[in-house]
Amino acid sequence: MLAVFGHTNPDTDAISSALVYAHLLTRLGVPAQAYRLGDLNFETAFVLRELRMEAPPMLPALAAGTPVALVDHNESGQSAPNIAELTVTRVVDHHKLGDLTTSQPPFLRFEPVGCTGTILLKLHREAGLDVEALDAKLMLSAILSDTLHFRSPTTTQDDRDAVAFLAPVAGVTDVEAYALAMFAAKSDLGDTPAAQLLKMDYKVFPFGEPAQQWGVGVIETTNPAYVFGRKEELLRAMDEARAEDGLNGVLLSVVDILNETNRTFVLSATEEKVLREAFGVEATDGVADLGNRISRKKQIVPTLERYFAPEA
Ligand SMILES: [Mn+2]
């Protein structure tokens, strides 16, 4: 049985794509089981409740050599703890290529689109398979989540076409209303501990040579005032993460989904200097205004990569 999973601190695409790809592979004669690498965020929990579906189980410890398929990620730092010992046979992803290496030739499908779900719809078509309603709603939800319903600059025409195709199959008549319900669920953070808020949508990236390790978190919300009300707690959680995980820096961006703005918490002089030199922005009271740079994948990480890259 092939184990299929998305990245740690899973988002709706990481969970949906594991479920959909495992089902697709099984239909194609490759028995597969979806797993997750962490707790569901509130948006993903809402989507699965809507579908009356169970979350995939947590990935158990896998013996060296176990065949696995990765979706929605490929960097070892965002994967199973012993990914280097596992046999990666397939990857379906829409992120930059990281440090993945394999011992056997794998199936790889990467496309620069807004969501893994968009690629999975293509895989259905290419296999000549119809799309079942549950899978359609999972892929639809993932695309709306990753592209913030086309607000993100990562959005491509393929994502728009996929949503137009999937919505009727999923039985969603008002796509914007459904997207807003997802974003509201994601923003209803209640009394979630600050350390958990920080890590909800959080990835660690190596930058430069020798590599520095940076934690880059994002809180996408329709209620930024709530997040700013917890600024001091979040800065403490960032400081703890930096110490515990041995990081060189930690950034946490608060993305206002509806107004398409990014204000980023600035932990210390280290982050302040990087934001000034890489993005040309100044911090005031521990917050830097990154304007409309709302995509970590397309606007934050590439700029940091260029900034930390060794001089040619
Ligand atoms: Mn994704």
Please state the φ and ψ torsions of residue 205, each to the nearest 5 degrees: -120, 140
DSSP state of 189: -
Q: In angstroms, what CA-CA distances link 36 with 9, 78, 234, 235?
A: 9, 12, 25, 28
pLDDT value for 312: 57
d(CA 5, CA 250): 26
Question: For tokens 């409740």, what's the residue?
Answer: 49
- Omega prior to 81 cis, within 30 of 0: no
Tell me, in angstroms, the distance from the centre of ligand 1 to residue 67's CA: 22
Mean pLDDT of 104-117: 97
At residue 310, does pLDDT exceed 80? Answer: no
Res. 104 pLDDT band, cuts 50 70 90: confident
At residue 225, does pLDDT exceed 80? Answer: yes
Tell me, in angstroms, the distance from the centre of ligand 1 to residue 94's CA: 7
285 exposure class (CB count in 10 Å sphere: 0-12, 13-18, 19+)? exposed
pLDDT in tens, 135-179: 999 999 999 999 999 999 999 999 999 999 999 999 999 999 999
The set of residues, in sequence order, having a beta carbon less than 8 Å from that of 37 and lying 6+ positions away, is 5, 6, 7, 8, 9, 10, 14, 58, 59, 79, 80
pLDDT value for 66: 97
Whether 184 contacts 222, CB under 8 Å? yes
pLDDT in tens, 273-300: 999 999 999 999 999 999 999 999 999 9
Amino acid found at 200: M
Tell me, in angstroms, the distance from the centre of ligand 1 to residue 116's CA: 5
Mean pLDDT of 213-226: 96
Tell me, in angstroms, the distance from the centre of ligand 1 to residue 72's CA: 5
> In which region does residue 262 sit, left (phi positive, over 0), alpha (psi from -120 to 50) or beta (all else)?
beta
Tell me, in angstroms, the distance from the centre of ligand 1 to residue 269's CA: 31
Tell me, in angstroms, the distance from the centre of ligand 1 to residue 52's CA: 22
pLDDT value for 241: 97
Tell me, in angstroms, the distance from the centre of ligand 1 to residue 59's CA: 19
Q: Where are the domains of the chain?
A: 2-185, 194-308
Tell me, in angstroms, the distance from the centre of ligand 1 to residue 93's CA: 7
CB under 5 Å of ion ligand 1: residues:
13, 72, 116, 146
Q: In angstroms, what CA-CA distances link 130 with 24, 27, 124, 165?
A: 10, 11, 7, 12
Tell me, in angstroms, the distance from the centre of ligand 1 to residue 151's CA: 15
Right CATH number for 194-308 from 3.10.310.20, 3.20.20.10, 3.90.1720.10, 3.90.580.10?
3.10.310.20
Reduced to 3 states (helix: H, G, I; strand: E, B; else coil), residue 32 is strand
Right CATH number for 2-185 from 3.40.640.10, 3.90.1640.10, 3.40.50.300, 3.40.50.150?
3.90.1640.10
